[in-house]
Amino acid sequence: MSIIKYNNNSSIQEYLTGDKSITNDTVLIKMFLRNQRSKNTVRSYAKSIKLFIDYINKPLSNVTVKDIMDFMDKLEKKEKSTQNNRISGLSSLYNFGCKLGYLKYNPFTVINKPTVNKNKSTNKFLAKEELNRLWEVLREKKRNAVIGSIFITTGVRVSELCNIKCKHFYKDMDSNVGIHIIDGKGNKDRDIKVRQDVLAYIKDYRDSINKDFNIPNDDESYLITTRNGNRVNENYIRWIIDNASKKAGIEKKISPHWLRHTSASMSLNNNCDIVKVTENFGWSSLKVAKGYLHNLDKLKDSSVDYVDIDL
Protein backbone atom coordinates (compact mmCIF):
# COMPACT_ATOMS: atom_id res chain seq x y z
CA MET A 1 0.00 0.00 0.00
CA SER A 2 1.38 3.38 -0.92
CA ILE A 3 1.82 6.10 1.66
CA ILE A 4 -0.50 9.11 1.43
CA LYS A 5 1.58 12.20 0.79
CA TYR A 6 0.39 15.78 0.65
CA ASN A 7 2.46 18.65 -0.61
CA ASN A 8 2.50 22.04 1.07
CA ASN A 9 -0.16 23.36 -1.32
CA SER A 10 -2.71 20.68 -0.50
CA SER A 11 -5.86 21.93 1.20
CA ILE A 12 -8.54 20.49 3.46
CA GLN A 13 -10.99 20.81 0.59
CA GLU A 14 -9.08 18.13 -1.31
CA TYR A 15 -10.13 15.61 1.31
CA LEU A 16 -13.75 16.53 0.73
CA THR A 17 -13.74 16.62 -3.07
CA GLY A 18 -11.56 13.58 -3.70
CA ASP A 19 -9.05 15.30 -5.94
CA LYS A 20 -6.18 13.16 -4.65
CA SER A 21 -5.16 9.77 -6.04
CA ILE A 22 -7.12 6.95 -4.45
CA THR A 23 -5.39 4.75 -1.87
CA ASN A 24 -6.85 2.53 0.81
CA ASP A 25 -6.30 5.13 3.53
CA THR A 26 -7.82 7.79 1.32
CA VAL A 27 -10.94 5.71 0.75
CA LEU A 28 -11.28 5.18 4.50
CA ILE A 29 -10.92 8.90 5.20
CA LYS A 30 -13.53 9.79 2.59
CA MET A 31 -15.99 7.21 3.95
CA PHE A 32 -15.39 8.43 7.50
CA LEU A 33 -16.01 12.07 6.60
CA ARG A 34 -19.13 11.21 4.60
CA ASN A 35 -20.48 9.46 7.70
CA GLN A 36 -20.51 12.71 9.72
CA ARG A 37 -23.75 14.67 10.05
CA SER A 38 -22.43 18.19 10.51
CA LYS A 39 -20.43 20.19 7.95
CA ASN A 40 -18.51 21.79 10.80
CA THR A 41 -17.58 18.38 12.16
CA VAL A 42 -16.44 17.31 8.70
CA ARG A 43 -14.17 20.31 8.35
CA SER A 44 -12.80 19.94 11.88
CA TYR A 45 -12.08 16.23 11.42
CA ALA A 46 -10.60 16.82 7.97
CA LYS A 47 -8.22 19.40 9.37
CA SER A 48 -7.15 17.06 12.18
CA ILE A 49 -6.58 14.21 9.75
CA LYS A 50 -4.58 16.37 7.36
CA LEU A 51 -2.33 17.67 10.15
CA PHE A 52 -1.76 14.14 11.40
CA ILE A 53 -1.11 12.56 7.99
CA ASP A 54 1.27 15.36 7.00
CA TYR A 55 3.17 14.88 10.25
CA ILE A 56 3.50 11.09 10.40
CA ASN A 57 3.85 10.53 6.61
CA LYS A 58 3.08 6.83 6.88
CA PRO A 59 0.06 4.52 6.47
CA LEU A 60 -2.51 4.64 9.25
CA SER A 61 -1.96 0.96 10.02
CA ASN A 62 1.72 1.62 10.80
CA VAL A 63 1.14 4.43 13.30
CA THR A 64 2.57 3.80 16.77
CA VAL A 65 1.74 5.27 20.15
CA LYS A 66 5.08 7.09 20.01
CA ASP A 67 4.04 8.70 16.70
CA ILE A 68 0.91 10.00 18.37
CA MET A 69 2.76 11.29 21.42
CA ASP A 70 5.24 13.11 19.17
CA PHE A 71 2.31 14.60 17.29
CA MET A 72 0.76 15.75 20.57
CA ASP A 73 4.06 17.41 21.51
CA LYS A 74 3.74 19.44 18.33
CA LEU A 75 0.27 20.59 19.44
CA GLU A 76 1.44 21.47 22.94
CA LYS A 77 1.16 25.23 22.38
CA LYS A 78 -2.45 24.90 21.25
CA GLU A 79 -5.41 25.28 23.61
CA LYS A 80 -6.15 22.06 25.50
CA SER A 81 -9.63 22.01 24.01
CA THR A 82 -8.05 22.11 20.52
CA GLN A 83 -5.73 19.24 21.43
CA ASN A 84 -8.71 17.24 22.65
CA ASN A 85 -10.61 17.93 19.43
CA ARG A 86 -7.66 16.65 17.40
CA ILE A 87 -7.44 13.46 19.49
CA SER A 88 -11.20 12.87 19.36
CA GLY A 89 -11.37 13.26 15.58
CA LEU A 90 -8.43 10.96 14.92
CA SER A 91 -9.60 8.39 17.46
CA SER A 92 -13.02 8.36 15.78
CA LEU A 93 -11.32 7.72 12.43
CA TYR A 94 -9.47 4.72 13.87
CA ASN A 95 -12.62 3.38 15.52
CA PHE A 96 -14.40 3.66 12.18
CA GLY A 97 -11.56 1.82 10.45
CA CYS A 98 -11.61 -0.91 13.09
CA LYS A 99 -15.36 -1.42 12.73
CA LEU A 100 -14.90 -1.88 8.99
CA GLY A 101 -12.12 -4.39 9.60
CA TYR A 102 -9.59 -2.23 7.76
CA LEU A 103 -7.56 -1.31 10.86
CA LYS A 104 -6.65 -3.81 13.58
CA TYR A 105 -6.58 -1.51 16.59
CA ASN A 106 -6.90 2.09 17.72
CA PRO A 107 -3.61 3.40 19.19
CA PHE A 108 -5.39 6.53 20.45
CA THR A 109 -7.16 4.51 23.17
CA VAL A 110 -4.04 4.64 25.36
CA ILE A 111 -3.55 8.40 24.94
CA ASN A 112 -4.68 10.56 27.85
CA LYS A 113 -6.45 13.73 26.82
CA PRO A 114 -5.29 17.01 28.37
CA THR A 115 -7.43 18.13 31.29
CA VAL A 116 -9.65 21.03 30.28
CA ASN A 117 -11.07 23.56 32.70
CA LYS A 118 -14.78 23.10 31.99
CA ASN A 119 -15.63 26.48 33.45
CA LYS A 120 -13.04 28.36 31.41
CA SER A 121 -15.26 28.89 28.37
CA THR A 122 -18.18 30.03 30.50
CA ASN A 123 -15.98 32.87 31.77
CA LYS A 124 -15.76 34.28 28.26
CA PHE A 125 -18.54 36.83 28.44
CA LEU A 126 -18.72 40.58 28.17
CA ALA A 127 -19.71 42.91 30.96
CA LYS A 128 -22.91 44.81 30.20
CA GLU A 129 -20.97 48.04 29.70
CA GLU A 130 -18.69 46.32 27.17
CA LEU A 131 -21.65 44.81 25.37
CA ASN A 132 -23.30 48.23 25.08
CA ARG A 133 -20.13 49.69 23.56
CA LEU A 134 -19.88 46.83 21.08
CA TRP A 135 -23.54 47.22 20.11
CA GLU A 136 -23.13 50.95 19.46
CA VAL A 137 -20.43 50.11 16.88
CA LEU A 138 -22.34 47.24 15.28
CA ARG A 139 -25.57 49.19 14.86
CA GLU A 140 -23.80 51.79 12.68
CA LYS A 141 -24.24 49.46 9.67
CA LYS A 142 -27.53 47.78 8.85
CA ARG A 143 -26.13 44.31 8.15
CA ASN A 144 -23.92 44.41 11.25
CA ALA A 145 -26.94 45.44 13.32
CA VAL A 146 -28.71 42.25 12.22
CA ILE A 147 -25.64 40.14 12.97
CA GLY A 148 -25.14 41.69 16.40
CA SER A 149 -28.78 41.71 17.45
CA ILE A 150 -29.25 38.03 16.57
CA PHE A 151 -26.03 36.98 18.31
CA ILE A 152 -26.79 38.97 21.45
CA THR A 153 -30.45 37.99 21.87
CA THR A 154 -30.43 34.38 20.65
CA GLY A 155 -26.88 33.18 21.26
CA VAL A 156 -26.74 31.19 18.02
CA ARG A 157 -23.43 29.79 16.80
CA VAL A 158 -21.69 31.57 13.93
CA SER A 159 -22.32 28.65 11.55
CA GLU A 160 -26.00 28.68 12.51
CA LEU A 161 -26.26 32.40 11.81
CA CYS A 162 -24.69 32.01 8.38
CA ASN A 163 -27.13 29.20 7.51
CA ILE A 164 -30.32 31.11 8.39
CA LYS A 165 -32.56 31.45 5.37
CA CYS A 166 -35.58 33.70 5.07
CA LYS A 167 -37.83 30.65 4.90
CA HIS A 168 -36.69 29.62 8.39
CA PHE A 169 -38.78 32.36 10.00
CA TYR A 170 -42.34 31.51 11.08
CA LYS A 171 -45.20 32.71 13.29
CA ASP A 172 -47.11 30.82 15.95
CA MET A 173 -50.82 31.13 16.72
CA ASP A 174 -50.18 34.25 18.82
CA SER A 175 -48.10 35.89 16.05
CA ASN A 176 -44.84 35.38 17.94
CA VAL A 177 -41.98 35.06 15.45
CA GLY A 178 -39.42 32.27 15.62
CA ILE A 179 -36.44 31.01 13.66
CA HIS A 180 -35.91 27.36 12.88
CA ILE A 181 -32.19 26.91 13.59
CA ILE A 182 -30.26 24.24 11.72
CA ASP A 183 -27.98 22.96 14.46
CA GLY A 184 -24.33 23.76 13.75
CA LYS A 185 -23.17 20.62 15.52
CA GLY A 186 -25.47 18.25 13.69
CA ASN A 187 -27.22 16.96 16.82
CA LYS A 188 -30.69 18.45 16.63
CA ASP A 189 -32.40 21.49 15.20
CA ARG A 190 -34.25 23.89 17.45
CA ASP A 191 -36.58 26.88 17.37
CA ILE A 192 -35.75 30.25 18.93
CA LYS A 193 -38.01 33.26 19.44
CA VAL A 194 -37.15 36.50 17.62
CA ARG A 195 -37.70 39.79 19.43
CA GLN A 196 -39.60 42.59 17.70
CA ASP A 197 -36.63 44.98 17.84
CA VAL A 198 -34.47 42.36 16.09
CA LEU A 199 -37.16 41.94 13.42
CA ALA A 200 -37.08 45.68 12.84
CA TYR A 201 -33.32 45.55 12.19
CA ILE A 202 -33.83 42.61 9.84
CA LYS A 203 -36.53 44.38 7.81
CA ASP A 204 -34.45 47.55 7.65
CA TYR A 205 -31.46 45.60 6.36
CA ARG A 206 -33.47 43.62 3.79
CA ASP A 207 -35.06 46.85 2.53
CA SER A 208 -31.60 48.38 2.11
CA ILE A 209 -30.55 45.57 -0.26
CA ASN A 210 -33.90 45.60 -2.08
CA LYS A 211 -34.95 42.20 -0.77
CA ASP A 212 -38.40 41.32 0.55
CA PHE A 213 -38.85 39.88 4.02
CA ASN A 214 -42.23 38.36 4.71
CA ILE A 215 -43.28 35.79 7.30
CA PRO A 216 -43.98 33.06 6.42
CA ASN A 217 -42.37 32.58 3.02
CA ASP A 218 -40.60 30.03 0.82
CA ASP A 219 -37.63 32.29 0.13
CA GLU A 220 -34.50 30.13 -0.19
CA SER A 221 -32.14 33.12 0.01
CA TYR A 222 -29.86 33.49 3.01
CA LEU A 223 -30.85 36.13 5.52
CA ILE A 224 -27.39 37.71 5.65
CA THR A 225 -25.52 37.83 2.36
CA THR A 226 -22.47 39.20 0.63
CA ARG A 227 -22.84 42.09 -1.81
CA ASN A 228 -23.29 39.49 -4.55
CA GLY A 229 -26.16 37.86 -2.70
CA ASN A 230 -24.20 34.77 -1.64
CA ARG A 231 -24.01 33.11 1.76
CA VAL A 232 -21.75 35.12 4.02
CA ASN A 233 -18.53 33.42 5.15
CA GLU A 234 -18.13 32.47 8.81
CA ASN A 235 -14.63 33.93 8.98
CA TYR A 236 -15.98 37.22 7.66
CA ILE A 237 -18.53 37.29 10.49
CA ARG A 238 -15.71 36.66 12.95
CA TRP A 239 -13.78 39.56 11.40
CA ILE A 240 -16.82 41.87 11.76
CA ILE A 241 -17.11 41.09 15.48
CA ASP A 242 -13.37 41.36 16.07
CA ASN A 243 -13.13 44.65 14.18
CA ALA A 244 -16.16 46.10 15.99
CA SER A 245 -14.73 45.15 19.38
CA LYS A 246 -11.49 46.96 18.58
CA LYS A 247 -13.41 50.07 17.51
CA ALA A 248 -15.38 49.84 20.75
CA GLY A 249 -12.14 49.86 22.73
CA ILE A 250 -12.64 46.38 24.15
CA GLU A 251 -9.25 44.95 25.08
CA LYS A 252 -10.42 41.33 25.10
CA LYS A 253 -10.02 39.44 21.84
CA ILE A 254 -13.63 38.42 21.37
CA SER A 255 -15.35 36.21 18.84
CA PRO A 256 -18.98 35.38 18.01
CA HIS A 257 -18.80 32.61 20.59
CA TRP A 258 -18.15 35.23 23.27
CA LEU A 259 -21.54 36.69 22.36
CA ARG A 260 -23.09 33.24 22.71
CA HIS A 261 -21.60 32.96 26.20
CA THR A 262 -22.73 36.50 27.00
CA SER A 263 -26.30 35.83 25.86
CA ALA A 264 -26.51 32.67 27.96
CA SER A 265 -25.00 34.41 30.99
CA MET A 266 -27.39 37.37 30.77
CA SER A 267 -30.42 35.08 30.44
CA LEU A 268 -29.45 33.05 33.50
CA ASN A 269 -28.43 36.12 35.48
CA ASN A 270 -31.92 37.54 34.88
CA ASN A 271 -33.45 34.35 36.29
CA CYS A 272 -34.49 32.69 33.03
CA ASP A 273 -35.51 29.07 33.62
CA ILE A 274 -32.43 26.85 33.26
CA VAL A 275 -34.35 24.29 31.17
CA LYS A 276 -35.43 26.98 28.68
CA VAL A 277 -31.85 28.23 28.35
CA THR A 278 -30.59 24.69 27.80
CA GLU A 279 -33.17 24.11 25.06
CA ASN A 280 -32.66 27.46 23.34
CA PHE A 281 -28.89 27.06 23.22
CA GLY A 282 -29.02 23.48 22.00
CA TRP A 283 -27.04 22.03 24.89
CA SER A 284 -27.23 18.30 25.51
CA SER A 285 -27.68 18.58 29.28
CA LEU A 286 -28.30 20.99 32.15
CA LYS A 287 -24.66 20.66 33.26
CA VAL A 288 -23.53 23.31 30.78
CA ALA A 289 -26.03 25.86 32.04
CA LYS A 290 -25.11 25.02 35.64
CA GLY A 291 -21.50 25.84 34.78
CA TYR A 292 -22.61 29.31 33.72
CA LEU A 293 -24.58 29.75 36.93
CA HIS A 294 -21.57 28.76 39.01
CA ASN A 295 -19.38 31.39 37.37
CA LEU A 296 -22.07 34.05 37.65
CA ASP A 297 -22.70 33.42 41.35
CA LYS A 298 -19.18 32.92 42.68
CA LEU A 299 -18.55 36.67 43.19
CA LYS A 300 -22.06 37.60 44.35
CA ASP A 301 -21.84 36.15 47.84
CA SER A 302 -18.24 35.43 48.69
CA SER A 303 -16.33 34.76 51.90
CA VAL A 304 -14.61 38.07 51.22
CA ASP A 305 -17.86 39.88 52.01
CA TYR A 306 -17.83 38.43 55.54
CA VAL A 307 -14.40 39.70 56.58
CA ASP A 308 -15.39 42.20 59.28
CA ILE A 309 -12.77 44.92 59.05
CA ASP A 310 -12.69 48.50 57.75
CA LEU A 311 -9.70 49.25 55.53
E-state strands within the chain: 169-171, 177-181, 190-194
Q: What is the mean pLDDT of residues 41-55?
A: 92
Q: Give per-residue pLDDT as tens, 189-231.
A: 899 999 999 999 999 999 999 998 989 889 999 999 998 889 9
Between CA 236 and CA 241, with CA 238 as vertex, the angle to 5 degrees is 110
Residues 39 and 176 both lie in one domain: no
Residues 127 and 265 both lie in one domain: yes
Is 1 within the bounds of a domain? no
CATH of the domain at 79: 1.10.150.130
Quote the DSSP letter at residue 141: S
Predicted pLDDT of residue 2: 38
Predicted pLDDT of residue 160: 93
E-state strands within 44-196: 169-171, 177-181, 190-194
Residues 208 and 282 both lie in one domain: yes
Structural domains of the chain, count: 2
Residues 72 and 190 both lie in one domain: no
Residues 72 and 163 both lie in one domain: no
Q: What is the mean pLDDT of residues 28-39?
A: 87
pLDDT at residue 87 greater than cutoff 80: yes
Residues 216 and 68 both lie in one domain: no
Residue type, 65: V
Is 214 within the bounds of a domain? yes
Please give the residue range of the domain that contains residue 209.
121-297
Q: What is the mean pLDDT of residues 10-17?
A: 48
Residues 61 and 129 both lie in one domain: no
pLDDT band of 8, cuts 50, 70, 90: very low
pTM of the model: 0.67
